[in-house]
Amino acid sequence: MSKDFTEIWVYLSASPLLGLTVTLASYLAGSWLFKKSGDNPLVNPVLIAVASIVALLWMTGTPYETYFDGAQFVHFLLGPATVALAIPLYNQFQQVKKTFGALVTALICGSVTAALSAIGIAWLLDGSKQTLLSLAPKSVTTPIAMGITEKIGGLPSLTAVLVILTGIIGAVFGRIILNLVRVKDMRARGLAIGVASHGIGTAAALQASEVAGAFSGLAMGLNGIATAVLIPLLVTLLF
């Protein structure tokens, strides 16, 4: 009996089915808890899913690569989903056009703040140079951030994780910070979330309103471009 189970486990743990199923199931569980909590941003579905999968992999001694064999099908959809952000952006185009000057200025201020404050805070607390460099692009979407880190000599796979953590922090606490600084306009709120916490923030902003989601998606795209130009310059100045 127990031998049969071991055989089944050996078979399943080598197939992509398990990683894929676990990813979807734990995310569904996270979403269910999020709904149950009355859409409380502290109960973030990504955070719940990541934490429970990490715990599961750790308990079963499954390497990340094995998990990713299955999870890559979900990961792959990030590309077409990024392209799809053009649609809310187009739907809100009139709104975006009206505020374009303000938007670009705010975006550049945010982009510089994100990179400088991340490097500065970590430097004050004795972070290693590799950590500082890997932190610098933490506010932009994963593929751009990894590209930037590679260019400036950080650790791209560490950056990927820091980017996700940043996104979760933005999605969880964004609303609190925005209320604290008393910004109520959905355009400004969406923009700020998109600049600071890319796609995960955008997902949260989309749930709040389509206007916020469109500005957040636009901010994420533009900030990716701005940061890709800015950080290599900053790094040559600082290091």
Partner 1 sequence: MLAALTALLVFQLIGEIISMALGLPVPGPVIGMVLLFFALVIKGRVPADLQQTAQGLLSHLSLLFVPAGVGVLLHAHLIAEEWPAITAALIGSTFLTIAVTALVMKWLMPKEKDDAA
Q: Which residues contact 167 (CB under 8 A, 6 or more apart)?
A: 46, 197, 198, 199, 200, 201
- Residue 26 is a binding residue for partner 1 (CB under 8 A): yes
- Residue 18 is a binding residue for partner 1 (CB under 8 A): no
Decide if 206 contacts 70 (C-beta within 8 A): no
- Residue 29 is a binding residue for partner 1 (CB under 8 A): no
Question: Which of 66, 173, 209, 238 is close enough to bind partner 1 by CB under 8 A?
Answer: 173
Conformation bin of residue 140: beta by default, left when phi > 0, alpha when psi is -120 to 50: beta
Decide if 173 contacts 41 (C-beta within 8 A): yes
Decide if 224 contacts 195 (C-beta within 8 A): no
- Residue 9 is a binding residue for partner 1 (CB under 8 A): no
Question: Which of 79, 129, 153, 239 is close enough to bind partner 1 by CB under 8 A?
Answer: 79
- Tell me how far apart the alpha carbons of residues 35 and 31 are, in angstroms, rounded to a whole number: 6
Q: Which of residues 113-172 bind partner 1 (CB under 8 A)?
A: 113-114, 117-119, 121-122, 125-128, 131, 135, 138-139, 141-144, 147-148, 151, 155, 157-158, 160-171
Q: Which of residues 56-75 bind partner 1 (CB under 8 A)?
A: 57-58, 64, 67-68, 71-72, 74-75
- Tell me how far apart the alpha carbons of residues 122 and 136 are, in angstroms, rounded to a whole number: 10
For the CB of residue 86, give the shortest distance to partner 1 in the complex, in Å: 4
DSSP 153-198: TS-HHHHHHHHHHHHHHHHHHHHHHHHHTT---HHHHHHHHHHHHH
Task: Give the binding-site size for partner 1 (rule: CB under 8 A).
Answer: 115
For the CB of residue 125, give the shortest distance to partner 1 in the complex, in Å: 4
Question: Which of 18, 43, 49, 235 is close enough to bind partner 1 by CB under 8 A?
Answer: 49
CA angle, 20 as apex, 16 and 21 as ends, to 5°?
115
- Tell me how far apart the alpha carbons of residues 51 and 66 are, in angstroms, rounded to a whole number: 17
Stretch that binds partner 1, among 6-14, 35-43, 104-112 (CB under 8 A): 104-112
Question: Which of 16, 33, 41, 206 is close enough to bind partner 1 by CB under 8 A?
Answer: 206
- Residue 25 is a binding residue for partner 1 (CB under 8 A): no
Q: Which is nearer to partner 1, 6 or 157 (CB)?
A: 157
- Residue 212 is a binding residue for partner 1 (CB under 8 A): no
For the CB of residue 133, give the shortest distance to partner 1 in the complex, in Å: 12
Q: Which residues contact 40 (CB under 8 A, 6 or more apart)?
A: 34
Give residue 69's identity as a one-letter amino acid code: D
